[in-house]
Amino acid sequence: MARVVVVSNRVAVPSSDGGVRAGGLEVVLRSFLKRNQGVWFGWSGRTVAKGEEKVRTVEQGGVTYITTDLSRIDHQEYYNGFANRMLWPILHYRLDLAEFSSRDMAGYLRVNELFADRLKKFLKPDDIIWVHDYHLLPLAKALRERGVENKIGFFLHIPFPPPELLTCLPKHERVILGLCHYDLVGFQTDGDADNFAHYLTKECLMPSRDSRTFIAGTRMVRLGAFPVGIEMTEFERLGRRTSRLAFAREVVSSLADRTMIIGVDRLDYSKGLGLRMRAFEHFLSEHPRWRGAVTYLQITPRSRSDIREYAEMERRISETVGRVNGRYGEASWTPIRYVNRPYSRSVLAGLYRSSRAALVTPLRDGMNLVAKEYVAAQDAEDPGVLILSRFAGAAVECQAALLVNPYDQEAVAAAIHEALSMPLDERRARHGALIKVLSENDVKHWGERFVTTLTQPAGAPSAPLQPIDNSATYLAAAE
């Protein structure tokens, strides 16, 4: 197979301290490259003075890691600004949190050009290029403008909203239509792919060959749903080792026979943490018999703390935890244990397996790997129950979970009660159904399916490709 060059903002360069960072993208790409041994290109994680940016190459385990520093101003406008204060909220259906600045948009486009310049030097003619996530929507366009004709695929890890929301992004076509320079654009769910198809059809009046193949000027772009999976057997194995893990044993013994519920999320407003805690509070108020008998452990490493909305949310969540613990806690029992730090995969697997239920209630999420990891780590003989937001991409596969509307605190509280009271037979049946569906689509299958689809010929177009009427006007506006 040709060499695969993976491109993403974050790159998990192996470090001597073996440090862990939370984030789905790094977890799945690390696993993909472990198997496929290509190149991983992206930001080094360092910001430096303008003109002092360095490009570094590290070879390890058959993978070549190539990273570039960013200047402080580039990082501010591209990452903190346009990617995380404009695209992230809009793509997560949060128009109320979006802050547009044309300066940030210019910085975002500039950094994409800079990535293209630096990446091009390392490319070979038959490389397959696979670009990831919302930081790099226009990268293919920048590469094409530099003469790169390789197959280029794109995968969006986060949701893609309907055109009614997307078009609130000022000058949306300059960024979103850049996706038409890829050969294949992958989404987490069919719903996300449909939303992009509607955008191209209704907003950009772009002609299509079928519902998943569009004709963008002289190019053809294919869309598809490629739900991301996890390393199922690895999590099952780590889960089985729990009893041998000193840390998990220590946590369990500190519970003093209480039942544990777990939540594991980056500290992000899309994860619905505030509403989740209020739902837990509602549960305690409605079911007094569980007071003192259940502990909710919420593991939440800080994320993007330089951004105002994140810092404000962090303060609000801490206040909510304090209020619930103050109201219901006892000297001998803390209802919510709240920790802001990362843990290794084996510790997470051990904590998942020791929890009777997992609360995974994002307000909107591309997929949510934690939901899948929780299922994989359970003891099949005595499994815990997954309480999952219907607005997470994972809900499409995880129909056997207790699906909830995260905005409905009463319903989430009722689901917590149902999970804690669920008979063993029902827990086993739900878990078996979840394991079956998740095993059919693990991370290996996801990567292979995407790359195979990207390398397959799209099929000859039925007519010569020509720019057509309104879509051509739109494409010109996107230049």
Residue 10 binding: pick among ligand ADP, ligand F6P, none (C-beta 5-8 Å cut-off by kind): ligand F6P
Q: Which is nearer to ligand ADP, 127 or 373 (CB)?
A: 373
Residue 348 binding: pick among ligand F6P, ligand ADP, none (C-beta 5-8 Å cut-off by kind): ligand ADP
Q: Which is nearer to ligand ADP, 27 or 478 (CB)?
A: 27
Q: Which is nearer to ligand ADP, 23 or 207 (CB)?
A: 23
CA-nearest of 256, 274, 278 to 333 is 256
Dist. CA 40–CA 38, nearest whole Å: 7
Radius of gyration of the chain measured on its C-alpha atoms:
23
Binding of residue 24 to ligand F6P (CB under 6 A): yes
Which window, 75-83, 364-372, 410-418, 461-469, contacts ligand ADP (CB under 6 A)? 364-372
Specify the DSSP class assigned to residue 79.
I
Binds ligand F6P by CB under 6 A, chosen from 4, 5, 20, 25: 25
Binds ligand ADP by CB under 6 A, chosen from 23, 207, 227, 383: 23
Alpha helix positions (H), 76-167: 88-91, 102-120, 139-145, 163-166
Binding of residue 133 to ligand F6P (CB under 6 A): yes
Binding of residue 46 to ligand F6P (CB under 6 A): no
Q: Which amino acid is at 21?
A: R
Q: Is the C-alpha dihedral spanning 251, 256, 262, 265 positive or negative?
A: negative
157 catalytic residue (yes or no): yes
Which window, 19-27, 62-70, 171-179, 470-478, contacts ligand F6P (CB under 6 A)? 19-27
Q: Residue 376, Cα to own-chain centre: how many angstroms?
A: 18
* Cβ atoms of 297 and 425 closer than 8 Å: no
For the segment 202-261, give every residue that binds ligand ADP (CB under 6 A): none
Q: Which amino acid is at 349?
A: A
Binds ligand F6P by CB under 6 A, chosen from 303, 355, 361, 471: 303
Q: Which is nearer to ligand ADP, 12 or 200 (CB)?
A: 12
Give the interface size with ligand F6P as a residue count (CB under 6 A). Answer: 11
φ/ψ of residue 152, rounded to 5: -130, 125
Binds ligand ADP by CB under 6 A, chosen from 368, 378, 409, 471: 368
Binding of residue 266 to ligand ADP (CB under 6 A): yes
Spell out the residues 6+ positions from residue 106 whose beta carbon is closer than 8 angstroms to its own. Answer: 77
365 catalytic residue (yes or no): yes
Dist. CA 315–CA 294, nearest whole Å: 25
Binds ligand F6P by CB under 6 A, chosen from 2, 3, 13, 26: 26
**How deeply is 305 buried, as exposed, middle or buried, from its count of CB atoms within 10 A (0-12, 13-18, 19+)?**
exposed
Dist. CA 229–CA 445, nearest whole Å: 8
Interface ranges with ligand ADP (CB under 6 A): 20, 22-24, 27, 264, 266, 299, 301, 342-343, 348, 367-370, 373
Residues noted as catalytic: 157, 365
